[in-house]
Amino acid sequence: MNFLEESCTFYSLSPELIESCDQFDCGHSDLNEFFLKDAENYANQLLGKSYCFIDNNDLKSIVCAFTISNDSIKASLLPRGRKEKVTKQIPHVKSSKNYPAVLIGRLEVSTNYKNRGIGKSLMDFIKSWFIDAQNKTGCRFVVVDAYNEDLPIKYYISCGFDFLFSTEEQEKRYSNIQSNDPLKTRLMFFDLILLKNPS
């Protein structure tokens, strides 16, 4: 059973909604704080829109939330091998081109609802928006700057994402991060054509 589709309702995240719900906790203080304090300002500045699902059987429970913004993959900024990998399904590819993408700026499932397949359903839901015929602009990729931690990386890989850079060393080099400094996040991508034209 798809719990999100069958037992939850989808909302734009607003201060009123947050006020009417129990405190949202995903176990990551940065993310909790963003949704509680900053999401509205972010939306007002047209920098990102935040959404959530509420449990129909407990209208005070935010099950999961996410924020998305427009983005792009700049092929010219990638190492050659990675450029070929990212654009291999695109006909007449131009190495200088920017390819349209949507950025998942934040995504989380409440600690009360983890490990039940909700994260995966949420990702399917987000991807489906951008291959829908009603989508008003072209969007080829979903991208994310994922926390460089075991669980989020496993999660995104299980949702079909791949690393934009092949190794942490390569990503540090291209992001101007000193090799001794930690790489706190990893850029990952999903090519939406895989859903539009499944092989």
Residues that bind ligand COA (CB under 6 A): 26-28, 31, 106-109, 114-120, 146-147, 151-152, 154-155, 158
CA distances from 78 to 14, 35, 74, 170 (A): 37, 32, 7, 10
- Please, what is the minimum distance in Å from the beta carbon of residue 33 to ligand COA? 12
- Please, what is the minimum distance in Å from the beta carbon of residue 160 to ligand COA? 11
Nearer to ligand COA, 27 or 81 (CB): 27
> Per this entry, what is the length of the chain?
199
Are 132 and 192 spatial neighbours (Cβ–Cβ below 8 Å)?
Answer: no
Taking CB atoms, the residue at the shortest distance from ligand COA is: 119
- Please, what is the minimum distance in Å from the beta carbon of residue 123 to ligand COA? 8
Q: Which of 79, 73, 66 is nearest to 141 (CA)?
A: 73
- Please, what is the minimum distance in Å from the beta carbon of residue 51 to ligand COA? 14
Are 30 and 71 spatial neighbours (Cβ–Cβ below 8 Å)?
Answer: no
Nearer to ligand COA, 67 or 87 (CB): 67
Are 69 and 105 spatial neighbours (Cβ–Cβ below 8 Å)?
Answer: yes
Nearer to ligand COA, 79 or 160 (CB): 160
45's tokens: 């500045």
Nearer to ligand COA, 107 or 192 (CB): 107
- Please, what is the minimum distance in Å from the beta carbon of residue 162 to ligand COA? 14
Q: Which of 68, 67, 65 is nearest to 24 (CA)?
A: 65
Nearer to ligand COA, 125 or 129 (CB): 125
Are 69 and 108 spatial neighbours (Cβ–Cβ below 8 Å)?
Answer: no
